[in-house]
Amino acid sequence: MNTLLVNHLNPKYGQRAVCPRPPFLYSNLLLLFKRWSSYTEPRNLTSVSEFFLMGLSDDPELQPFLCVLFLSMYLVTVLGNLLIILVITSDPHLHTPMYFFLSNLSLADISLISTTVPKVIVNIQTHNRVISYSSCLTQMSVFIFSACMDSMLLTVMAYDRFVAICHPLHYMVIMNQRTCCSSVLVLFFLSLLDSQVHNLIVLQVACFKGMEISHFFCDPSQVLKLACSDTLVNNIIMYFFGTIYGFFPISGIFFSYYKIISSVLRVPSSGGRYKAFSTCGSHLAVVCLFYGTGLGVYLTSAISESPRKYTAASVMYTVVTPMLNPFIYSLRNKDIKSALCRLLSKAG
């Protein structure tokens, strides 16, 4: 038998061990391979139970300031939007399509900020940035749903202003109660579809190479960056749906305001033009704020490779925009201000 003396002592007899060459090499190579694969094998999705949110800053001295800042913005946003909903529902003069969509926009803003900010505050207070896998999927789904509702409600509101200015005689026929309720219901299901598509894309990821999400909430693009496998198809599907849900609302808004501007410019008196523009000034300001900050976040992620800069830019889109919407509509809209004064006089 072809054998080879191995240069170590037999622990039992104190003699040199003799073993066949092929089994020795095979067994040692197999052992090395198993050890190497145990360290390099990616963790399966079934074993992933939680992620780690990196947050906005690691500076411990900055955490109390961030906590107070986010708590203040959250309270202002929720109370401001709830006040708008209360004013619209309590005043019969505001029971019109425009303010019906505005109240739904306020609900979407409350949902959008409530998805992310409370978790940030809890993480700072408990010094624990861990989020479970199921909670991450839920947060991601609700966030996308709320953002999509925001975007498409702004489009429907632009169409409402187009009908009111360009076809005033047919306004109540076109924008009747049935049409308004059906529109919101359709937007609800479209937003739900978009959120579930993103959820399914993330669920297709079979393994992760890390558990740290470079954000203060579960952003689907950041979660996909942790995937071990090739995510090209998933990214194509995600950006395809993102393009559809982004391109059509923006196109609808641009078309509506193109028609509005063309119609207003044909008004002979300057007073008439000012009155027509004032009816859609608040909506136009909210549109510019919403899509301007969204575009800023996209450009920041494309230009800068720093996760912190991308996270800081996302605060404008996810927190600041919902907070400023009530101020824009209450300060620029005479109907809201008048209804608010009437509500306060009744309460007093």
Tell me the HSE value of 52 on the side-chain side, using a 13 A CA sphere: 9
Whole-prediction pTM: 0.80
pLDDT at 9 over 70: no
99 touches 346 (CB < 8 A): no
Alpha-carbon torsion, ordered 271, 276, 277, 282, to 10 deg:
130
Place of tokens 């047919």: 170
What is the structure's pLDDT at 93?
87
**Span 139-158, average pLDDT:** 93
In this structure, how many other beta carbons lie within 10 angstroms of the beta carbon of residue 249?
21
Mean pLDDT of 290-307: 70
Rounded Cα gap, residues 26 and 9, in angstroms: 20
Topology given in CATH for the domain delimited by 52-345: Rhopdopsin 7-helix transmembrane proteins (1.20.1070)
For 9, phi then psi, to 5°, come to: -85, 145
Give me 170's structure tokens. 């047919």
Task: Indicate if the pLDDT at residue 33 is higher than 50.
Answer: no
CA distance 147 to 237: 18
pLDDT at 305: 64
Which residue carries 């429907």 as its tokens?
156
The span from the CA of 294 to the CA of 317, in Å, is 6
8 Å CB contact between 188 and 149: yes
Q: What is the mean pLDDT of the chain?
A: 80
| pLDDT the model gives residue 346 | 79
Check pLDDT > 70 for residue 30: no
What mean pLDDT do residues 264-291 have? 78
CB atoms closer than 10 angstroms to residue 64: 11
Residues 295 and 254: their CA atoms lie apart, in Å, by: 16
Most confident of 27-36, 61-70, 200-209: 61-70
At position 220, the amino acid (one-letter code) is P
For 170-190, the pLDDT digits (tens) are 999 999 999 999 999 999 999
Distance of CA 214 to the CA centre of its chain: 14
- Phi first, then psi: what are they for 52, rounded to 5°? -120, 115
- Domain range list for the chain: 52-345
Residue 241 pLDDT > 70: yes
Give the pairing type, strands 43-44 and 207-208: antiparallel
pLDDT band at 6 (very low <50, low <70, confident <90, very high): very low
